[in-house]
Every structure is written in structure tokens, then in C-alpha cells.
Amino acid sequence: MATPLIMTASGIRGIVGDNLDPALAVTVAKAFAYYLSSINETGPIIVGGDTRTSHDLYKNAVTSGLNASGYDAIDIGMCPTPTGQQMIRHHNASGAIIVTASHNPAEYNGLKIMNASGSFLNPQEFEAFKAVYDAKEESLVPWDRIGKVIVDDQAIHKHVDKILAELDTSALRKKPLRILVDVNHGAGAVANPILFKKLGIDADIMYPEPNGQFFHTPEPTKENLSALMKKMKSGNYDIGFAQDPDADRLVIIDENGHFIGEDYSLALCVEYILKRHSNDTDKNVVVNLSTSLVIEAVAANYQASTHYTKIGETNVTQGIRERNATVGGEGNGGIIYPKIGWGRDSLAGIVMALNYLAESGKTVSEIVKEYPKFTMIKDKKTVSSRDDVLPLLDKIESYFSNSPLDKQDGIKVSLTDSWIQVRPSNTEPIVRIFVEAPTPEEAEKLMSTVQSL
């Protein structure tokens, strides 16, 4: 029996050779083309993806579906997801389909669907697309109207140029830093050499072959980055970075080889941007509900307000637009700076972090030491359906009825200097449990309370 396919606004993901049939990629592409034609979007579609071994298999299937529907496909090859988002606007495209399963293991692949603005489909757009997909709507064109494939092999260069045009790197170029990056055979293996060459600095890259043969579990969490941390401790580096396979997420390792955490990596980048905008009178930061309180603390130091959205990049970008926010992101290490693009962008994050070190003269540990300390604990439970989550949510609502509750995404309980969130995952058949508190002991106590309900 095939594993259930995951299909949300955050992406379509499945297992190669199990539930992710190439024919499905063709169907998705035809449905997306039909949806775009229904809203009078007739421009080309960007197609690219990360370095997974099934890259060509699904990219070619997507291209075939688009061409059969009369749409040109601009093939940008193996590249970070944010490169695809950038190329939508660069080419005045109607959208993009990026072949990636993000942080999922190597046996997975999937499709991320973007709109003409360069961001994920918002919930309303996704529902409209999904209705077309479920109805198996398609509009195939005759032989003389089929789309063509246009190759853009300079997409990453254009993406990097956009970042460097927006972020002044003059201080960095005068103070070369010693950099170590774990790209884990992912899209960063293709993009980072281009970025560092344009910066005029050297960097040591671990697992640099872009072959999708991940050396370690792809999600850039502490337990998966032991080799990077060990090399940082012995290599006399100023900063270490790790990216996920499609290089939209970034985490930072300090000069002592310490994993500072995904949220603190985001905080460092957010603070750098807020410093650049310190003279702005109205500053807003938008993050998702599972993001650490450290962001609120950093934002408050720059008289910026923090706003929370449902989990999912599309919700954060929508929140950034609605609030006209200065910066935003997700606590998994995904910085979103609207002056550069409408998506999490690890390449932009790398430049922000390096600029911060060069301009301030501080080390990573010195910067992070100034932030309040929080401990976040994450747990998960496998479920057969999202409906299985409801009884647990009801118990939490009853138990914490006297505390502020946010029901945008599952349920979040706000306590004094701490919080709890329980929600169904957008990308996996699991329930995610998050707790955060000022100390490990307090966090463990909160997690035990939730698990006992």
C-alpha cells in the first residue's frame, strides 16, 4: 500500500518509486497551467529544483505538462528554491514549479508551486488550484501551439547579483572571514561557490558534490550537524553555515563550534536588517507562531512590532505584505527580506550574517550572548489523519483556559516568558508539539504537562 501523498500550499511531497509517480508531476503541471489560464496568466513558467537523484525525472515531467498546455517553461536547472522565486520576477513569469522535497530524506521528492509575485500560492490560490487538480481539469493545445523549453543557465548568478545589489558588502570585502559551510550535496553545492566568488572570499565547503547523496539527514538541526560542529571546533573558523537541500533554510554555527539554533540564526539576520532600517519610523517583523520569543526581544530593541502568522512560508509572506513589514521569516532558519524576494533565502542570510560580523567586529558568540536565552523543545506524534489532533487540542484548551490562546494554527498557549503550541504538520502525517521557556527545566516541565493530557 502506497504511503499517503502530502499535498498542501507548502508543497506536494511523496516517495520516489512509491506514491510519487512521474505521471502525477505531469498532472500537477497541467492543472497549474489550467489554473493560470483561468486567471489570465499566460507568461512562461520557471522550472528548476534541488540536487536529488530524481531531479531530471520530475523536472522533465513538469516541463512536458506545461508545454502540452501551451506554456513555455524556463529551465533554470539545479538551484536553490529562492533562485526560482527570484527568476519569476526577473522573467516576468506567471509562476514556478520547483522540484524539491525540501528537508525530507533522500527517498522523497516533490513540487513547490509559486505564483507570479514569486511566493507560494496563498491559501485562496492553493484551494483554487487544488479544485482544478481534483477535477482533473486540463486544456491541451494542438501541435502548433505547444510550449517550448527555454534554458537559463545564469539564474543563480542573477539571484546573487540581486542580493549583492541590495546588501552593501564593502566592509566584508575589506575583512575576509574564515567560513565553513555544510551543503550536504544539496543545492547549496551549486549556488555557494557562485556567491563566494562574487564576494571575492574563500570558503571551505563540506560535501560539495551536487549529487543528492545526502551525507546526513537533510534537515539542518543540531543532531544532524555533528560533523560540521566538530570541524568548526578544530578549524579556526569565524562562522559556520548549514543549509537544507533546496537552500531556503540557513542555520549558523558559532566560532567555537556551537549550534546557536535555528531561531537564533534567524534572530541574527533579523537584527542585521533592523539595524539597516533603524531610522524607519514604522518597523514590523512577521514570523510564524512556532518562532522563538527571541525575535520579539530583538525586535523590541529596535522599536519594531512582532506579528505572528500560521506556519507555512506562504502565510508569513502574506503577513509581511499585509503589515508592510521590514523583515520576517520562520524559526526554522528561514529569513525573508522583501527588498530581495518573497521567500526564505539562505544565500541572502549568509550575506547578512557575514556583513554583521564584518561591520560590527563582533564574533557570532558575542552577538548571540546579548540575546535573552530560551529553550525550545520539539516533539511529534504520528497520526493517521488531521482529525486525530482535535481531542488533544480540546484538552489543551480546557487545561489552559485562563491563558491567552491563539487558534490560527492548531492551538498556541501564551504564558509568562513561555508558550506551548500543538498543531498538525503541513508536510508530514504527524502532530508537532512545541514548547519554549527561559530554562531547560521549565521547558521540560511544560512538555511533560502537554504529554500527560
Q: Would you call 156 helix, strand, or coil by DSSP?
A: helix
Distance, CA of 59 to CA of 339 (rounded, Å):
29
- pLDDT at residue 423, rounded to an integer: 87
Rg (C-alpha) for the chain, rounded Å, is: 21
Helix ranges, 277-384 (H): 294-301, 313-323, 346-360, 364-369
- pLDDT at residue 2, rounded to an integer: 65
Catalytic option among 10, 94, 102, 265 = 102
C-alpha torsion angle, residues 156, 158, 162, 163 (rounded to 10): 20
- pLDDT at residue 298, rounded to an integer: 98
- 102 is known as an active-site residue: yes
Query: Is this structure's pTM higher than 0.85?
Result: yes
| Domain ranges (residues) in the chain | 6-153, 158-369, 375-452
Answer whether CATH 3.30.70.1150 is correct for domain 6-153.
no
Q: What is the 3-state secondary structure (H, E, C) of 26-57?
A: HHHHHHHHHHHHHCCCCCCEEEEECCCCCHHH
> pLDDT 10s per residue in the chain (453 long)?
567 788 988 899 999 999 999 999 999 999 999 999 999 999 999 999 999 999 999 999 999 999 999 999 999 999 999 999 999 999 999 999 999 999 999 999 999 999 999 999 999 999 999 999 999 999 999 999 999 999 999 999 999 999 999 999 999 999 989 999 999 999 999 999 999 999 999 999 999 999 999 999 999 999 999 999 999 998 899 999 999 999 999 999 999 999 999 999 999 999 999 999 999 999 999 999 999 999 999 999 999 999 999 988 999 999 999 999 999 999 888 999 999 999 999 999 999 999 999 999 999 999 999 999 999 998 987 777 767 778 888 889 999 999 999 999 999 999 999 999 998 876 667 888 999 999 999 999 999 999 888
Query: How is the beta sheet containing 283-288 ordered, strand by strand?
Result: 304-309, 283-288, 327-330, 334-336
C-alpha torsion angle, residues 25, 31, 36, 42 (rounded to 10): 70
- pLDDT at residue 3, rounded to an integer: 73
Distance, CA of 69 to CA of 6 (rounded, Å):
25
Q: In the numeric block, which cell numbers belong to residue 290?
A: 512556532
Query: Beta partners for 108?
Result: 15
DSSP-derived secondary structure for 288-304: ETTS-THHHHHHHHTTE
Which CATH number is 375-452 given?
3.30.310.50
CB neighbours of 336 closer than 8 A, spacing ≥ 6?
A: 313, 316, 317, 320, 327, 328, 329, 330, 342, 343, 344, 345
Print burial letters for 402-431: b (CB count within 10 Å at least 16), e (below 16). Answer: eeeeeeebbbbbbeeebbbbbbbbbbeeeb
Q: In the numeric block, which cell numbers belong to residue 73?
A: 517553461
**What superfamily would CATH give domain 158-369?**
Alpha-D-Glucose-1,6-Bisphosphate, subunit A, domain 3 (3.40.120.10)
Do 375-452 and 6-153 fall under one CATH topology? no
Does residue 14 contact residue 110 with C-beta atoms inside 8 Å? yes
- pLDDT at residue 425, rounded to an integer: 76
